Amino acid sequence: MKKEKPDNVVFSKETGYNANVLSYSTNVGAPAIKLDNLVDWKSNGIRNINKEFESKFNELKLEYQKLMQEYEWNEIVYNAKFSFEPVVGEIYHLYLADNGINFLSLIHPEHWNKVHIGSFKLNSNKKWIHLDSKQDNYFE
């Protein structure tokens, strides 16, 4: 069986010489058509997006832990005993009394020999802001 045309000539019986209408090169010197390695592309994409999701998850987890710590400190301060109306912007100190009850005071810990739990400032939203970094592990 003899071929009518050589392999390097683009010819079909239906369309004739159609090299000029094809979307790819057909001459011998044209670059080879290779299929992309989609497995590597997908695995790289999955790995990168998983890193991004993990990073975002860790950020949200830290934010949640911070929020829960703020909530717990506010619970402790609001449940503490005090006989005055706290002023926004003032610094107050939380102490543990001999009977085991927490109480709030204006007296600085350096001037008083009581068990100091933490120092707090009341903001305009009536939220207590914890000022002592050394007491951040109070709940652990």
- pLDDT average, residue stretch 5-19: 69
- CA 51 to chain CA centroid, Å, is 11
Residue 138 has pLDDT above 60, yes or no: no
- pLDDT average, residue stretch 40-61: 95
Work out the pLDDT band at 7, boundaries 50, 70, 90.
low
> Whole-model pTM?
0.61
